[in-house]
Amino acid sequence: MSRAVEDLQCKNLKIIVDKDGFSYGRDAVLLANFVRAKSGERALDMGTGTGILAILVNGKTGARITAVEIQQEAAALAAESARLNGQDNIEVLAGDVRELHKSLGYALFDLAVCNPPYYTGGTASPDPHKRQCTHQQTLTLAEAAQSASRLLKNGGRFYLCYPAEGFAALCAALIQSGIQPKRVQLAYGGNRPYLVLVEGKKGGKEGLLFEPPIFD
């Protein structure tokens, strides 16, 4: 493991990454900026990786975070980063978010965030850790939505990012799980959107707000 400590340039927060495997991308930073949360709210980070979303959302809002990661090595890095930042209200669990309701129960969280694996096909990395982060092998889009629906309180918010071309599939997965898309923001690279950020509401009514796009 080739470890590095990176400055997140936000409130003096830092993160420990594995340059050979466990890191994060621009999409996670954009999603953290998109999240709306209040101090003391209980939030779930589904598939935290090295903890980038948990660290930034907690640092920006003061929400209490339960961060879940199926890969134990990545979960250990996330927990170490939280300790490095003195973020005592981030709890990191090594486990499968699809099974979390069996140990914690239902309808516990005010909000959930997820930067899910994007790809269902195509060429995958030979590295099993990287492959699990990018391809929907251990968490599909439908499973992410179903898990959020189980774990969110009624009226709870679910924040995701996804490739822009998959916007329809994302909305379909949310609606099928009882989560209504309520707020959308597109991120552009050049003249084309490459990423969509979505806020859904469990048990919400129809009505979608498009926010001004982001131009990288």
> Model confidence over 98-123: pLDDT tens digits?
999 999 999 999 999 999 987 444 44
Average pLDDT over residues 20-29: 87
Q: What confidence score (pLDDT) does residue 118 get?
A: 74
Location of structure tokens 């918010």: 157
Q: What confidence score (pLDDT) does residue 139 get?
A: 87
Could you tell me if 175 and 149 are in contact, meaning their C-beta atoms sit under 8 angstroms apart?
A: no
Q: Is the pLDDT reported for residue 71 higher than 90?
A: yes
- Rounded CA-CA distance 212/66 in Å is 30
Please give the single-letter amino acid code of residue 25. G
Average pLDDT over residues 130-139: 48
Q: Is the pLDDT reported for residue 2 higher than 90?
A: no
The tokens describing 134, both together, are 């990018």
Q: Is 42 helix (H, G, I), strand (E, B) or coil?
A: strand
Q: What confidence score (pLDDT) does residue 22 get?
A: 66
Q: Is the pLDDT reported for residue 59 higher than 90?
A: yes
Could you tell me if 116 and 147 are in contact, meaning their C-beta atoms sit under 8 angstroms apart?
A: no
Tens digit of each residue's pLDDT (9 = 90 or more) over 166-200 = 999 999 999 999 999 999 999 999 899 999 999 99
Average pLDDT over residues 80-106: 97
Nearest to 8 by CA among 65, 74, 81: 81
Average pLDDT over residues 93-97: 96
pTM of the full structure: 0.91
Q: What confidence score (pLDDT) does residue 51 get?
A: 97
* Backbone φ and ψ of 179, nearest 5°: -115, 120
Q: For 205, which DSSP code? A: P
